[in-house]
Structure 1
């Protein structure tokens, strides 16, 4: 499995996170670590683009749910 993550700054402090590949057992920590890094940098307005994700397991979906909780605080 391979995951590529591109991050682009947008207007109004919005950050676009473009995901390509698969989010599964082998790549979920890469996804979580990158999202946590962005939040740690104060970037809480995130748009995640899953258009080019071929596979997303329940752990990856859990990271998305946890991210939503973190940025709402």
Structure 2
């Protein structure tokens, strides 16, 4: 798994994730999300366009992150989910917890909208 972080306007950070998210690397993802939150940047978008699989460990990482973001006054938004990943999130009930967008620009722009 690889993670690239790109800043966007309105203090939004996009974390572009490539590969599978599983028990071997979910802690790496949690740490990548935790770093900006610890620095006071809690408007995060997870770009899942290149994620082809997530396990329950990946779901746990997302849950930890969204709780921390919201506790700090921000949010975690998901963008560009692959169908198989969206299916896992939906079955686990995560699509009711997290805001999901079809692409990164929509997810970034959503922070300018009234929640």
TM-score (norm 1): 0.91
| Structure 1 segments unaligned to the other structure (5+ residues) | none
SS at match of 1:12: coil
Alpha-carbon offset, residue 60 of structure 1: 0.7
| Structure 2 segments unaligned to the other structure (5+ residues) | 72-115
Residue 65 of structure 1 is matched in structure 2 by 63
CA distance in 1, matches of 2:67, 2:27: 18
What is the root-mean-square deviation of aligned Cα atoms in Å? 0.8
Aligned: 1:7 with 2:11: no
User: Aligned residue pairs: how many?
Assistant: 71
CA distance in 2, matches of 1:68, 1:25: 19
Structure scoring higher RCO (CA < 8 A, sep ≥ 6) equals 1
Aligned: 1:18 with 2:16: yes
Alpha-carbon offset, residue 53 of structure 1: 0.4
**Where in structure 1 do 4 or more consecutive aligned residues deviate above 2 Å?**
none
TM-superposition CA deviations, 1:39-64 (whole Å, max 9, x none): 11111000111110011001111111
Alpha-carbon offset, residue 25 of structure 1: 1.3
CA distance in 2, matches of 1:67, 1:30: 12
Greater share of strand:
1
TM-score (norm 2): 0.59
Residue 53 of structure 1 is matched in structure 2 by 51
